Amino acid sequence: MKLKKEIKFFINDREVIAKSGETILNVARREGFYIPTMCYLEKVNPIASCRLCLVDVEGSKGSILSCQTKPTEGIKVRTDSEYLYKHRQNIMKLYDVNHPLECGVCDKSGACELQNKTLEFGINCQDFSIREPHRQIENWGKIQYDPSLCILCERCVSTCNQAIGDDAIELKFGGYGSAIVLKDKTSQTLECSTCGECIAVCPVGALISTDFKYSSNAWELNKVPSVCTHCSAGCEIDYEIKHSSTLNHDAKIYRVTNNFENSSICGAGRFGFNFANVPNDEQNAKNLKNKKFDEVVNAVKKANTIIFNSHITNEEAFILQKLKEKLKLKLVNHEAYNLQKFLGAFSRSSGETLPNGKIEDVENADQIVVVGSRIIVENPQVRYAMTRAYKKNRAFISYMHPVYEPLLNNIVKQHIRYEVGTEEGVVALLSEALIGQVLKFDLDVGYVSGETNVGEEELARIYQIGKKSKKRILIVGSDIIAHEKRENIARFLGVMQKFSNIKILVVPEELNSFGVAKICQLDEKATGKTVGYNITGDYIISALKDIGHFSVPALNQQEGTIIDINHKVKKLNVAVSFNGQSLNDIANEIFDPIDCREYTIDRTRDIFNVDFDSLENIQIDSQEIEIDCTEMPNEISKLPTFDGTLVYNSRTYLEFNPFSAFDKNGKFNYENNLLIGSEQFATAGKIADGDEVEFEILGEKFKRKFKIDKDMRGVIALNPIFDKNLKAYQLSSSYKFQKVKIVKVAK
Amino acid sequence: MSLDAFKNRNIGSQNYVPVNIENYPTSGWDKFKQVVKRGVGKELFVGLWVVLREMLKFKIHTVQYPSEVLPIGPRYRAVHKLLRLLESGNERCIGCGLCEKICVADCIRMDTRVDENSRKEVVEYSINLGRCIFCGYCAEVCPELAIVHGSRYENVSEQRAHFVLKDDMLTPIDFLKQQKEFSGFGALSPNADQLVKKTPLAY
Ligand code: SF4
Ligand code: SF4
Ligand code: SF4
Ligand code: SF4
Ligand code: SF4
Ligand code: FES
């Protein structure tokens, strides 16, 4: 292709080469030339609002904006000159007009791009002035907007629109009175997924986090690079820590930040960091061998089963596996067990050990189908990649899920609400639509389409788009992995990967499902005495504050590794200390000396053959496996029906699990523990907004306050999964939709 | 000496008296003569007489510390004080953290939060005097003239903490009247008004 050509040109008399698609600014930055910018962000299209990045081109009249202009062969670019300096100085003068002199009480101070550039261009007084209109500080829940500090660079708007996809804010034009406003004029609060990316990208203190506000000056905080633990994306984040207070020297996390230039994180990662655990009173840190410690060691020794979930590191999973071998006990983790079964069937059909989709493939795709995942909360990073795919390549996105998701409306072309429980039929229909007839049996499209409620015209559309698209990806989520017929569904998907160019991306919900599935040999059912690790059991070992019998460090208090959905190994670091014992200490009491390790991370070597400290860039590659004959999907038997009122055990936009539900003071956030349903649900269940309701799922009783959400549709209500007794959390590792009988509690 | 005279640093206007000092003897013989003259001559007895005379008159010339304390220069840098605004009694410190940042001994710590009126409130402020080198940077950098060096140089107490928490340094609200506008280290120069360039106003 012609576009791929490299372009030679000159910056400040040095010859440089631009790769295809690169702007002058990109090349200049790569080559180490400095061009000041204020509105440029790598992750969105050039905004071109600040005009600081102006450069001169020899021979051409006027200057050009380097952030949005691509070089042509042989041009001579100058990034600095007397004229450019004056020009940039004038821009800074305008930015500074009537800018409040309140750096002393501004959260951005010390990390403020306006402050930096004002200093850089030596603006020390204001020579002219303009009448200042009254500007009101807006409170949008977790986000606060101060229009008098805003420099209208539009980074927030572009990020919300192009990188996140919520499209919740916009610029209100009005000359000197311009400001950022909510797009939804009927609402007072910001109704978005509250990712907080607008806060991160704002170069000044106009958008700030109300949780963080005034709690520390930016330069006092130390960054601890680590990985977010709330979903399978494992985003790279920095915990920013400082002593807890003047009189308490223990480190505390004040906020979480990310490399906002070229990545985005979600609200759970940004605001849900306060889950550091403290040892129980009886767990004396000084004396390792105390009564409480004997108790936990005995509990593990006597247990028949250890139940856990995938919110753990590889090292912890490895220790659990060793415990299983040593004590001959059962190891139960429903989600990872299901994933193992799913991947087993998948590889017998596809001939490869792992699905071949990556997050980058989503970003570059031109057709995306999501099935069986409420992707917006199950893996926001994949959703951001979908947004970018739509903004960059106008990708055609089909979102198939029983629950309507209003926030995806901006990017999704096809919203298909299939019947709960019919995932097998849905995937079978998709395989017909996407790769055509390769099955061994004739799919009764009419019947399956009727049962699943996926219309034939919709499938035809997917088929049409599929024919035109070069890069296609199918994203399957936790509802598929947890489904009874997971193995047959996996065979459909395996065949798709094998016989077509469609990539398959499997998105489990928990942090380290792939790691646990790789390391542990799991059992299907628990028997006898159980020990729960971060989950309910007869004896609970827990990293959650105030929960369980014995406390172990939470994931921001220990080093370890995880495997993300790209099958990459990532490292967690210690942000906050924990003065107690960990699973490794318990295991060392039980293991033979040869299996004992002083620290948990000494086990990294046992798993990956490298020391934790030197571990870098490990990618678990998919291997081809020898199969005699491809295992083809079986014919679909009768599809299940779920009638009546249903409850969906789901995450909410901000609370992904009990760990993310601690507020800034370290208190567990019960407030959001509602049952959220549509008006239709209220009518069907004969309940009203604000009623106390009771229901039972698989023998577990729940008591919730019912809340009507106008954006929801159908007779499915959301049951958030972050209870203090961990029951709903545990339920989220099996199939998330359940039939329930809602009973109103008499007042 | 009055405080005004103390503050006057303009050389030449004070009444300094030049002291006449005889030339020192240089040759060995001259030095010997001087020693003999001072040892057995009048000078020894003059000194003894003066001491005896003053003793008999009961006239005391030393400062009776601690019951009597000498005035100290306003630019002296002793234990810090946190000041209030004279009119409203509000705390001057806005919690900008510049003192915490600039402190060379890294001995200032402060806790801030949002108060009920959504303003930044400094809930605790402390200086570890065991590490402070009394350099005065904190007072100099403070944009609000909130942290200043006081004149309390007597660092005696049962606990070091007695000097250094916010309550100890802050002017008690009922002593507001006694608080003087600070003119010492870090204060604006008397001609500050002339140095400021005013921002033009549109109205
Ligand atoms: S936005 Fe920047 S320049 Fe403006 S008050 Fe805050 S720190 Fe100062
Ligand atoms: S709020 Fe911040 S990011 Fe948004 S336009 Fe204003 S200055 Fe730019
Ligand atoms: S929850 Fe997932 S998407 Fe959000 S920051 Fe954490 S890892 Fe990233
Ligand atoms: S006087 Fe100097 S050392 Fe002492 S607190 Fe102030 S800045 Fe720090
Ligand atoms: S420099 Fe002054 S105003 Fe700023 S925090 Fe220190 S004492 Fe307070
Ligand atoms: S960076 Fe180019 S216009 Fe702002």
Q: Looking at per-residue confidence, does A667 or A345 come out higher?
A: A345
A707 C-alpha to center of ligand 2: Å? Answer: 34
pLDDT of residue A670: 62
A267 C-alpha to center of ligand 3: Å? Answer: 8
Residue A223 covered by a domain? yes
From the CA atom positions of chain B, what is the Rg in Å? 26
Query: Is A269 strand, coil or helix?
Result: helix
pLDDT exceeds cutoff 60 at B1? no
**What is the bridge-based pairing of β-strands A716-720 and B80-82?**
unpaired
* Domain identity same for A64 and A166: no
pLDDT of residue A346: 95
A471 C-alpha to center of ligand 3: Å? Answer: 25
pLDDT of residue B38: 80
Q: Is the distance from CB of A695 to CB of A741 less than 8 angstroms?
A: yes
In this prediction, residues B126-143 reach a mean pLDDT of: 91
**Chain A residues touching residue B142 (CB < 8 angstroms):** none
Residue A701 covered by a domain? yes
In this prediction, residues A35-59 reach a mean pLDDT of: 94
Here the CATH number for the domain that contains residue A655 is 2.40.40.20
Q: What is the rounded distance in angstroms from the CA atom of residue A308 to the CA atom of residue B92?
A: 54
B125 at the A interface (CB within 8 A)?
A: yes
Tell me the per-residue pLDDT of A433-460, one tens digit each, with 9 for 90 and over: 998 877 777 888 899 999 999 999 999 9
Which of A219, A251, A271 terminates a domain? The answer is: A271
Q: What is the DSSP string of A549-592?
A: SEE---TTSS-EEEE-TT-BEEEE--SS---S--HHHHHHHHS-
Q: What is the rounded distance in angstroms from the CA atom of residue A179 to the CA atom of residue A145?
A: 10
pLDDT exceeds cutoff 70 at A674? yes
Structure-token match 């229909």, residue found? A429
Given an 8 Å threshold on Cβ–Cβ distance, is A219 in contact with B203? no
Among A414-428, A466-480, A576-590, B166-180, the minimum mean pLDDT is found in B166-180
* Domain identity same for A134 and A263: yes
Per-residue DSSP letter, A730:
H
In this prediction, residues A196-200 reach a mean pLDDT of: 97
Among A481-485, A607-611, B63-67, B115-119, the minimum mean pLDDT is found in B63-67
Q: Looking at per-residue confidence, does B20 or A672 come out higher?
A: B20
In this prediction, residues A463-468 reach a mean pLDDT of: 93
* Domain identity same for A40 and A136: no
From the CA atom positions of chain A, what is the Rg in Å? 27
Which of A234, A254, A271 terminates a domain? The answer is: A271
Tell me the per-residue pLDDT of A676-695, one tens digit each, with 9 for 90 and over: 999 989 988 889 988 899 99
Reported for A540-543, long-range contacts at CB under 8 A and 24+ positions apart, including other chains, are: A540/A726, A541/A296, A541/A300, A541/A583, A541/A586, A542/A277, A543/A275, A543/A277, A543/A659
pLDDT band at B161 (very low <50, low <70, confident <90, very high): low
Query: Is B42 strand, coil or helix?
Result: helix
Query: Other C-beta atoms within 10 Å of B83: how many?
Result: 23
In this prediction, residues B166-175 reach a mean pLDDT of: 89
B163 lines ligand 4 (CB under 6 A): no
Tell me the per-residue pLDDT of A211-236, one tens digit each, with 9 for 90 and over: 999 999 999 999 999 999 999 999 99
Tell me which ligand sits closest to the C-alpha of residue A200.
2
Nearest residue to A401 (alpha-carbon basis) of A432, A437, A365, A377: A377
- Write out the residue range of the structural domain in which residue A195 sits: 130-271
In this prediction, residues A237-244 reach a mean pLDDT of: 96
Among A93-102, A169-178, A408-417, A723-732, the minimum mean pLDDT is found in A723-732
Tell me the per-residue pLDDT of A336-378, one tens digit each, with 9 for 90 and over: 999 999 999 999 999 999 999 999 999 999 999 999 999 999 9
Query: In this structure, what are the phi and psi dihedrals at residue A310, rounded to the nearest 5 degrees?
Result: -95, 15
In this prediction, residues A509-527 reach a mean pLDDT of: 95
Residue A361 covered by a domain? no
A380 lines ligand 3 (CB under 6 A): yes
Residue A39 alpha carbon, nearest atom of ligand 6: 4
Q: Whose CA is nearest to atom 2 of ligand 2?
A: A202
pLDDT of residue A365: 96
Residue-averaged pLDDT of chain A: 92
Of B100, B121, B202, the CB nearest to A130: B202
pLDDT band at A4 (very low <50, low <70, confident <90, very high): low
Tell me how far the alpha carbon of residue A193 is from its chain's centroid: 11
Residues whose beta carbon lies within 6 Å of some atom of ligand 5: B 93-99, 141-142, 144, 146-147
In this prediction, residues A561-581 reach a mean pLDDT of: 94
Largest CA distance in chain B: 87
Given an 8 Å threshold on Cβ–Cβ distance, is A104 in contact with B101? no
Q: Is the domain covering B80-188 a CATH 2.60.120.480 domain?
A: no
Please state at what angle helix A486-499 crosses helix A334-350, rounded to 10 degrees: 40
pLDDT of residue A626: 77
Residue B147 alpha carbon, nearest atom of ligand 4: 6
Tell me the per-residue pLDDT of B41-91, one tens digit each, with 9 for 90 and over: 777 888 888 889 988 988 777 888 888 888 888 888 998 999 999 999 999
pLDDT of residue A2: 47
Residue A157 covered by a domain? yes
Nearest residue to B101 (alpha-carbon basis) of A111, A239, A217, A118: A217
Q: Number of helices (H) and strands (E) in chain B: give both, helices first.
A: 8, 4
pLDDT exceeds cutoff 80 at A629? no
Q: What is the rounded distance in angstroms from the CA atom of residue A94 to the CA atom of residue A151?
A: 10
Residue A192 covered by a domain? yes
Query: What's the full length of chain A, in residues?
Result: 747
Of A130, A219, A246, the CB nearest to B111: A246
A535 C-alpha to center of ligand 4: Å? Answer: 51
Among A383-392, A493-502, B70-79, the minimum mean pLDDT is found in B70-79
Of B100, B119, B200, the CB nearest to A220: B100
Q: What is the rounded distance in angstroms from the CA atom of residue A659 to the CA atom of residue A663?
A: 10
Domain count of chain A?
3
What kind and span of H or E run contains A416?
strand A414-416
Tell me the per-residue pLDDT of A696-733, one tens digit each, with 9 for 90 and over: 888 888 888 898 988 888 889 998 888 777 888 888 88
pLDDT of residue A727: 81
pTM here is 0.90
B98 at the A interface (CB within 8 A)?
A: yes
Provide the residue ranges of all domains of chain B, joining segments of one domain with +. 28-57, 80-188
Query: Other C-beta atoms within 10 Å of B115: how many?
Result: 12
A97 C-alpha to center of ligand 2: Å? Answer: 16
In this prediction, residues A484-501 reach a mean pLDDT of: 93
Query: Does the N-terminal peptide bond of residue B66 adopt cis geometry, omega within 30 degrees of 0?
Result: yes
In this prediction, residues A419-446 reach a mean pLDDT of: 88
B18 at the A interface (CB within 8 A)?
A: no
pLDDT exceeds cutoff 80 at A590? yes
**Chain A residues touching residue B97 (CB < 8 angstroms):** 217, 219-220
B160 at the A interface (CB within 8 A)?
A: no
Query: In this structure, what are the phi and psi dihedrals at residue A560, rounded to the nearest 5 degrees?
Result: 170, 180
Q: Is the distance from CB of A47 to CB of A41 less than 8 angstroms?
A: yes
* Domain identity same for A144 and A257: yes
SS3 sequence of chain B: CCHHHHHCCCCCCCCCCCCCCCCCCCCHHHHHHHHHHHHHCHHHHHHHHHHHHHHHHCCCCCCCCCCCCCCCCCCCCCCEEECECCCCCCECCCCCCHHHHHCCCCCEEEEEEECCCCCEEEEEEEECCCCCCCCCHHHHHCCCCCEEECCCCCCCCCCCHHHHCHHHHECCHHHHHHCCCCCCCCCCCCCHHHHCCCCCCCC
pLDDT of residue A1: 43
Joined together, the tokens standing for residue B185 give 């280290």
pLDDT exceeds cutoff 50 at A125? yes
Q: What is the rounded distance in angstroms from the CA atom of residue A363 to the CA atom of residue B35?
A: 100
Residue A138 covered by a domain? yes
* Domain identity same for A141 and A26: no
pLDDT of residue B202: 65
pLDDT exceeds cutoff 70 at A328? yes
Q: Which residues contact B200 (CB under 8 A, 6 or more apart)?
A: A126, A127, A128, A129
B194: closest CA of chain A, how far (Å) = 15
Tell me which ligand sits closest to the C-alpha of residue A53.
6
In this prediction, residues A62-69 reach a mean pLDDT of: 91
Q: What is the rounded distance in angstroms from the CA atom of residue A371 to the CA atom of residue A358?
A: 16
